[in-house]
A = this chain, B = another copy of it.
Amino acid sequence: MNALTPLSDVTAVPHAGLCFALPEHSLFSNLSLAEQALVSARLSYFHFDGDAPILVDGAPLVGLLRSGAVARTTRLGSHVSTVGLLLAGDMLILEGPRTANVRSEAVGKTEIFGCSAQSFQDLLRQIPQLQLNYLALVTAELQATRDWYTLLGRKTATERVATLILKLSRHAEEGATVIDLLLTRDRIGNLLGIKMETVSRQIRAFAKAGVIALFSPTKIQVLDKAALLEATGDIWREKSAL
Contact = CB atoms under 8 A, between A and B. Distances in A.
Interface string A70-104: 00000011110101100000000111101100100
Interface string A18-50: 000000000000000000000000000000000
Interface string A151-170: 01110000000000000000
Interface stretch (A105-113, A127-135, A199-207, A210-218): A127-135
Given A98-B140, A149-B145, A237 B77 contact: yes
A142 B152 contact: no
Nearest to A75: B241
Contact of A96 (B96, B124, B140, B154): B140
Number of copies: 2
Contact of A98 (B125, B143, B150, B154): B143
A131 B81 CA distance: 33
Interface in A191-242: 192-193, 236-237, 239-242
Contact of A143 (B77, B99, B143): B99
Contact of A145 (B102, B132, B142): B142
Main secondary structure of the interface of A (DSSP, over half): helix
A135 B131 contact: yes
A177 interface: no
A150 B81 CA distance: 10
Contacts of A148: 149
A184 interface: no
Contact of A240 (B78, B95, B140, B154): B78
A55 interface: no
Contact of A135 (B77, B78, B83, B138): B138
A56 interface: no
A18 to B, nearest CB: 28
Nearest to A234: B76
Nearest to A78: B240
A34 to B, nearest CB: 18
15 contacts: A76-B241, A77-B240, A77-B241, A83-B150, A84-B146, A93-B142, A96-B140, A96-B143, A98-B147, A125-B132, A128-B131, A131-B135, A135-B138, A141-B142, A149-B150
